[in-house]
Amino acid sequence: MEIKFSPAVYIPLVLFYTGTGTGLDVVVSHRLKTSLSNTLTHFYPFAGRIRDNICIDCNDNGVEFLEARVCAGTSLADVLARPEPDVLLRFLPARIMSLEAYTGSLLQVQVSLFECGGLVIGISASHKLADAATLSTLIKSWAHSARDGPTEVAPPDLTAASVFPPTKMLTTAQPSEALKLKLRTRRYLFDAKKIAALKVKSASEVVPRPTRVEAVCALLWKCKIKALESNAGPWKPSVLAQTVNLRKRLDPAMPEDSVGNLIGFYTARVDRTSDEANLPSLVAKMRKSMDEYVRDYARKLRGPDGFSMIWTATMTGGELMKEDGFTLSVFTSWCRLGLYEADFGCGKPDWMSSCSSDFKNTSVLTDTKDGEGIEAWVTLREEDMELFEQDQELLSFASLNPRILAGCNLR
């Protein structure tokens, strides 16, 4: 499994549970720890360490499991009343940009217990080994073990290592650190009704039925273009980079539970804001670029030229990140991954969050609990966010950081 192409960062995920009941926190925490240990017998690469920035040494060094108790007087309902990124990050066991993702544990877990009986599970998984789909597979198996016992857990697919084997030509490469910028992250909620209206507004003869992810990404991209253009001076072309889960798009396809960082990305470009930065045009560009990426790249990765294609795409992506002739917006969708199904024996999560990002111009899309809406976590430079969050078209479709669980019964 080629890990050099993956960044040395942690994937952040926080799951919130309000229904555990008071007095059960010790029992729940013990069950989570024991079941995670049982799960790792199947997901054993997570208990290893990175070796020479090429492969995982499955040496069974283990993972980090932390237990935290939230200070008295703070309830989970208080946190969910207005979830702020800086507060949510405290529930994670490691920062997103952390060298531990390269030198230390590939998986860290923090269980935070509230006096009111609620708990929060914070997970940091190394992007060197995992993508969001792999993290979802791990969490589902872990939850199954906690709820039904270890004998009921089906092992995941670990064949990605044989499909994309490591190569020594990458041993000298070292991870780089992101630029330190003053960034701000905002959470936007698109409910099902607003998404339906947005899909109608984004439709065209080219794409008569946009997906909800396409419609939301197009609107966010359009609003980013306006904000970045206002602050950047003269108009620069805008490039969207959208991550793609490669598992079902390879030829032949790989199982959905394949473990690894099996993602790629396609790019779409806007050269003239007045002509091209409208929703139907943006959706059409995204759909066309996605179709071309799957046809010309993804389906050929398991062929004889697969490695050279990965290498070329990685080098091209690296140059793209450095180029100053345009603005780059990165989008990642975690929709349809089933993260709201993670029942560890105390009910399904009331809310989940990807928190924030340490990278500018990024957006992470997740499902709402009903599976119909979308939450978008948008990270921009502070000066760009000041304009972005005032965009009236955006606010006509999305709510800025609304309350979670208005009917929460925790006190």
- Told to judge if 343 belongs to the known catalytic residues of this protein, a careful annotator would answer yes
Query: Token pair for residue 73?
Result: 């007087």
Which residue is catalytic, options 78, 157, 191, 343? 343
The secondary structure of residue 168, as a DSSP letter, is G
| Residue of 408, 389, 407 whose CA lies nearest to 399 | 389
Q: Is 206 helix (H, G, I), strand (E, B) or coil?
A: coil
Q: Is 236 helix (H, G, I), strand (E, B) or coil?
A: coil
CA Rg, the chain, in Å?
21
CA 66-70-72 angle, 5° bins? 150
Which residue is catalytic, options 127, 131, 257, 358? 127
| Residue of 328, 340, 321, 334 whose CA lies nearest to 380 | 328
Q: For residue 15, what are the CA distances in angstroms to 98, 196, 270?
A: 21, 27, 37
The C-alpha atoms of residue 327 and residue 229 are separated, in whole angstroms, by 9
Which helix or strand (DSSP H or E) is residue 376 part of?
A: strand 374-381
Query: Could you give the residue numbers annotated as active site?
Result: 127, 343
